[in-house]
Each structure stands twice: as C-alpha cells, then as structure tokens.
Amino acid sequence: MPKAVKLYVRYVDAVNRTVGRFTMYMIFAMMGVLLYSSISRTFFDVPLIWVVEVAQMTMAAYYLLGGGYSMQLDSHVRMDLLYGRWSIKRRAFTDSITAFGLVFYLVFLLVGGISSTEYAIEYNQKNYSVWAPPMAPIKVIMTIGIAMMLLQATSMFFKDLARARGKEI
C-alpha cells in the first residue's frame, strides 16, 4: 500500500480511537440525567420537562460518535452463519466488497446530515416540544459522527484490501 494510504489509516484510526474512548463515558452522563430526573420526581415531586430530550440527544451523540470506534474494534452486529468459517483472506475480500455499500450509504447520510444541519442553523430550528431546545448542536454532532464513520469505513476498506492481498497495514 502507498505511504499516503498508511498515513490515512493510521490517523483516522487514531482520531476515532480517541473520540470513541471519550464518547463511551457519555453513557454515564445520560444515566446521571435519568437518575436525577427519577430522584427529583420521586422524592421532591418535581417533574422535569427537559430530561427525555437530553437523554435522547446524549444517546444519539453516544452511538454516532462511537460508531467509527465500534467499526474499528469490529464490535458491530453481523450475521455470522458463514463468515466465521471463512479464511481471513476471504473475509477481508468480502468486507472490501461490502464496504462499497456502506460508503454509499454513509455518503448519502452525510449529505442529508449536512443539509439538515444547515437548515437548523439558518432557521434556528427548535424541537417541537414544551422545552423546545435548539436542534443545531445535536445535528452538528450527528453530522460529525457520520463523517467519522465514513472516514473509518474508508480506512477499514484499505485494511481489508491489504489483508485480502496477504499484507497488513
């Protein structure tokens, strides 16, 4: 593989690893918000209108920012009827072919995310709820997460292509 590809793979993997390790602690923030809501409602009879939306936005950021790291660790869900029995080269070849479908999907998702983010910023879009938080921050985070998954999918493609040829990056 060319040196530029190796550098690309190394840097994309490093960025996704760093962001993913930071992001995995967001689950505790979401749990803290939900626990705070539960305590305030149970003991003080104070219902909070913002809790569900904050939890939803935290969870969306959690899985989108952690998506690239999950791909890197190969810890995503997959049907393993035949795949587990195949040789490493055959798996890598199959993964390099299916990467095109993933990249195609992520490109369209990214284009939609950018468009939606632009709309939210331009028109100061708010959620249709009693609390009505601005939507731009979560849409920016979601678009960044999709972009990071696209970069990681490309990195995985290069690694699978090298592995199918009997080499490692």
Domain range for 20? 3-164
Domain-embedded: residue 169:
no
pLDDT in tens, 8-56: 999 999 999 999 999 999 999 999 999 999 999 999 988 898 998 999 9
| Tally of structural domains, the chain | 1
Tell me the pTM. 0.90
pLDDT in tens, 71-96: 999 887 777 788 888 888 898 898 88
Q: Are 56 and 91 in contact (CB under 8 A)?
A: no
Burial class (CB in 10 A: 0-12, 13-18, 19+), 5: middle
